[in-house]
């Protein structure tokens, strides 16, 4: 029996493998490869796909899973941290884009209703493409990453009122007022359900499921939670993607979020590919070749217009110009929800024929250009910042209290006040080392300044900000920010401004080390490496490797630039075979209970080592640890003994620490 959908899936993935392989060799982003695959297999290309509707359904599942994983990695706390970007930034971006697009459409002779509808379409950006690219670049936690996410969340919410208003643009009012009231009521109910689920329902459900230790049950439960919340929001008139994001937020508040994320990621990558392929299938290649100049001009106009408006909205939030430019360039394309909204417009006669194809072609081209634009965004921002612009615009308009220029010498400069930056500052404060902190989050700066922290607001990619911190007289600089591109630029600037300063850079991955060293960093600390060092240090400690041997190994690994860690399998030390290290002994803890034979007797009297071959390493009495206890010190009830010996002999000593009457009773 022939299954059309199965045939189409094989065709899509088979061709996608070939296209992605070529794109990889040419260093073209995978998103572009999927769009090209859609163009090839679609009805306007080779026409290899028959089950178009089924492919669109799979594409929607891909968007749902993408937003679900983003929600898991996010949290309600982080949502509150970017509430200004969501409410203020998102509303400014959408309203300004709508207004400017409306005016342009009116100048081109479009009726009022169609002009407003075109503004709706152009004001939305692609959540799927932008967040996927930002995640791949590890920039979700950067200032421009958080702001971009906030604006995208607002766009995903505003799509619902746009769909409701669309019939009104043609004069079909219906029961619009009643529909909006019902929608608001449903929205409030869903928000209440989400909070209740995150705090009480889902953690208890997942706890009971996790107790079964069934991997299949856990995965199915996660998928059902995702799809169920998405279905509830869709039934209430909201978008599936928003529901999936809320479902991810619910799970993010539980201790099972990391396990859930690991289980969902493979499914997300598979289904998300269908989304990008389905977008490519919409493009009429013949129409594109008939009017290439006009369509290219439309796509370019969309990218430039939206980038400028989104950058302006971010500037109004108070961010520095460089951050604003990165946000604007990321949001320049037309979004996937615009295609959903466009179908509503087609149904009501607001868009048809060549106009619809012109919109599709320009939108798909803007999407295809996005990966390249985001990659080039840091360089484009740096070029723009070379123009003679007002300093206030470059540094940002956020009302942070003015600070004096740092007049210290031989001081420490900390760039970024996240977890790492705070720990470095705390250590410097304890050690009495003079330091200054540069941070781009204005709220953090204001709060910390109120507590007396020597912290200054500014974008460290600007020389003026570093000079404000007296970079020329600094002894050490620590860069601890979550933006790889900015980290590289700051490293280059610091080395140019002060060739003698000792520059320590925190990076996330090993592959970022070489470029940073080439730019002038003295030390690069990759997080993934330091995590593994901490893990194997604890492993070796559990195998009772002497502490000086562990410290020697760690020092050796760090001193030779981590090369040793990349070839762990070579024979390099006296303890390379851990299986030979005391395999027949264990360290255990025993509690001396009341009426135990040990109470009141000393080590010399009991002769544990002579009779049982067990050594008492330490005793915990109340809250005090007594190392190497005196042989004449008597045991007390409730003492906790740390003993070393063969497992069977330790078990015999464990019997001595118990009440013999309880042993007889049992």
pLDDT, tens digit, 9 for 90 and up, residues 99-155: 999 999 999 888 888 899 999 999 999 887 898 888 878 787 788 888 998 999 888
**If residue 206 lies in a helix (H) or strand (E), which one and from where to where?**
helix 202-211
pLDDT of residue 623: 76
Give the side-chain half-sphere CA count within 13 A for 358. Answer: 16
Residues of the chain with pLDDT under 50: 401, 564-581, 663-666
Domain of 111, CATH number, reads: 1.20.1530.20
Q: What is the pLDDT of residue 7?
A: 84
Q: Quick check: is 11 in a domain?
A: no
In angstroms, the CA 283 to CA 492 distance is: 43
Please state, as a whole number, how many other Cβ atoms lie within 10 Å of the Cβ of residue 296: 14
Distance CA 155, CA 28 (A): 28
Q: Are residues 424 and 343 in the same domain?
A: no
- In this structure, the dihedral spanned by the alpha carbons of residues 98, 103, 108 and 112, taken in order and rounded to 10 degrees, is 70
Q: Considering the domain boundaries, does residue 302 fall inside one? A: yes
Give pLDDT, residue 405.
Answer: 58
Pairwise CA distance, residues 119 & 515, whole Å: 43
Q: What is the pLDDT of residue 563?
A: 53
3-state SS string for 372-439:
HHHHHHHHHHHHHHCCCCCHHHHHCCCCCCCCCCCCCCCCEEEECCCHHHHHHHHHHHHHCCCEEEEE
Q: What pLDDT is recorded for position 96? A: 96
| Domain assignment present for 136 | yes
Beta strands in 161-227 (DSSP E): none
Which residue, 194, 161, 181, is CA-closest to 79? 194
Same domain, 424 and 342: no
Q: How far is CA 119 from the centre of its chain?
A: 31
Q: Are 370 and 133 in contact (CB under 8 A)?
A: yes
pLDDT of amino acid 573: 40
The reply to whether 354 and 447 lie within a common domain is no
In the chain, % helix, strand, coil (3-state, to 5) comes to 65, 10, 25
DSSP character for 561?
A: T
- Considering the domain architecture, whether residues 380 and 403 belong to the same structural domain is answered as no
Q: Which of 336, 351, 385 is the last residue of a domain?
A: 385
Domain holding 612, by residue range, is 586-665
Which of 337, 361, 385 terminates a domain? The answer is 385
Does the residue 110 lie in any domain? yes
DSSP assignment of 628-664 equals: S--TTPBB-TT-EEEEEE-HHHHHHHHHHTS-HHHHH
For residue 503, give the nearest of 524, 486, 481, 521 by alpha carbon: 521
Asked if residue 205 and residue 87 are part of one domain, the reply reads: yes
Domain presence at residue 570: no
CA dihedral angle for residue 235, residue 236, residue 240, residue 246, rounded to 10 degrees:
-130
CATH number, domain of 599, equals 3.30.70.1450
Number of domains in the chain: 3
- DSSP assignment string, 268-334: HHHHHHHHHHHHHHT--HHHHHHSHHHHHHHHHHHHHHHHHHHHHHHHHTT--HHHHHHHHHHT-SP
Report strand pairing: 435-439 vs 455-457.
parallel
Residue 318's CB is within 10 A of a number of other CB atoms, namely: 19
562 falls within a domain = no
The pLDDT assigned to 492 comes to 92
Residue 590 host element (H or E): strand 586-591
* CA–CA dist 462, 382 (Å, integer): 9
Q: Which of 482, 507, 532 is the last residue of a domain?
A: 507
End-to-end CA distance of the chain: 67
How confident is the model at residue 280, as a pLDDT? 83
Phi, psi of 571, deg, nearest 5 = -85, 120
- Mark whether 348 and 415 lie in a shared domain: no
Do 499 and 613 reside in the same domain of the chain?
no
């Amino acid at each position: 029996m022939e299954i059309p959908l199965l045939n189409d899936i094989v065709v899509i993935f088979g061709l996608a493998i070939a296209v992605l392989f070529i794109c990889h060799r040419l260093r073209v982003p995978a998103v572009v490869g999927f769009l090209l695959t859609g163009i090839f297999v679609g009805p306007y290309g080779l026409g290899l796909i028959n089950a178009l509707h089924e492919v669109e359904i799979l594409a929607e599942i891909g968007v749902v899973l993408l937003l679900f994983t983003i929600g898991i990695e996010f949290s309600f706390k982080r949502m509150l941290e970017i509430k200004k970007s969501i409410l203020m930034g998102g509303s400014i971006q959408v309203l300004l884009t709508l207004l400017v697009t409306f005016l342009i459409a009116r100048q081109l002779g479009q009726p009022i209703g169609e002009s407003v509808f075109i503004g709706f379409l152009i004001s939305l950006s692609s959540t799927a493409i932008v967040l996927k690219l930002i995640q791949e670049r590890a920039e979700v936690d950067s200032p421009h990453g958080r702001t971009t996410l906030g604006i995208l969340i607002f766009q995903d919410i505003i799509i619902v009122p746009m769909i409701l208003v669309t019939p009104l643009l043609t004069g079909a009012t219906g029961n619009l007022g009643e529909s909006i009231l019902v929608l608001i009521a449903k929205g409030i109910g869903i928000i209440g359900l989400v909070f209740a689920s995150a705090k009480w329902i889902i953690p208890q459900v997942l706890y009971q499921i996790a107790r079964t230790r069934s991997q299949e049950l856990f995965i199915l439960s996660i998928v059902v939670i995702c799809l169920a919340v998405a279905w509830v929001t869709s039934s209430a008139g909201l978008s599936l993607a928003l529901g999936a994001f809320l479902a991810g937020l619910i799970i993010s508040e539980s201790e099972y979020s990391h396990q859930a994320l690991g289980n969902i990621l493979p499914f997300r990558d598979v289904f998300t590919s269908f989304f990008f392929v389905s977008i490519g299938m919409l493009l009429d290649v013949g129409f594109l070749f008939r009017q290439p100049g006009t369509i290219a001009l439309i796509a370019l106009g969309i990218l430039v217009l939206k980038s400028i408006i989104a950058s302006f909205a971010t500037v109004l939030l108070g961010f520095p110009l460089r951050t604003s430019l990165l946000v604007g360039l990321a949001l320049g394309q037309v979004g996937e929800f615009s295609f959903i909204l466009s179908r509503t417009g087609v149904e009501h006669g607001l868009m048809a024929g060549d106009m619809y194809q012109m919109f599709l072609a320009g939108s798909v081209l803007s999407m295809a250009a996005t990966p390249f634009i985001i990659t080039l965004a840091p360089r484009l921002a740096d070029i723009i910042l070379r123009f003679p612009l007002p300093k206030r615009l470059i540094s940002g308009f956020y009302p942070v209290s003015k600070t004096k220029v740092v007049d210290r010498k031989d001081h420490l400069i900390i760039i970024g006040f996240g977890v790492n930056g705070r720990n470095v500052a705390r250590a410097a404060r304890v050690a009495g080392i003079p330091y200054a902190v540069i941070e781009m989050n204005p709220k953090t700066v204001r709060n910390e300044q109120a507590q007396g922290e020597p912290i200054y607001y500014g974008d460290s990619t600007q020389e003026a900000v570093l000079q404000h911190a007296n970079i020329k007289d600094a002894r050490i600089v620590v860069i601890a920010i979550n933006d790889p591109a900015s980290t590289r630029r700051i490293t280059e600037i610091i080395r140019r401004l002060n060739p003698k300063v000792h520059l320590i850079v925190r990076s996330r991955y090993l592959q970022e080390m070489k470029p940073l060293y080439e730019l002038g960093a003295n030390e690069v600390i990759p997080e993934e490496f330091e995590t593994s060092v901490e893990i194997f240090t604890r492993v070796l400690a559990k195998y009772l490797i002497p502490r000086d041997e562990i410290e020697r190994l760690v020092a050796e690994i760090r001193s030779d630039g981590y090369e040793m860690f990349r070839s762990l399998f070579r024979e390099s030390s006296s303890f390379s075979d851990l299986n030979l290290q005391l395999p027949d002994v264990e360290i255990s803890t025993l509690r001396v209970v009341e009426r135990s034979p040990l109470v009141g007797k000393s080590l010399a009297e009991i002769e544990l080592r002579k009779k049982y071959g067990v050594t008492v390493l330490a005793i915990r009495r109340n809250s005090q640890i007594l190392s190497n206890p005196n042989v004449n010190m008597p045991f007390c009830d409730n003492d906790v003994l740390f003993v070393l010996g063969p497992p069977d002999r330790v078990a015999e000593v464990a019997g001595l620490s118990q009440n013999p009457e309880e042993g007889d009773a049992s």
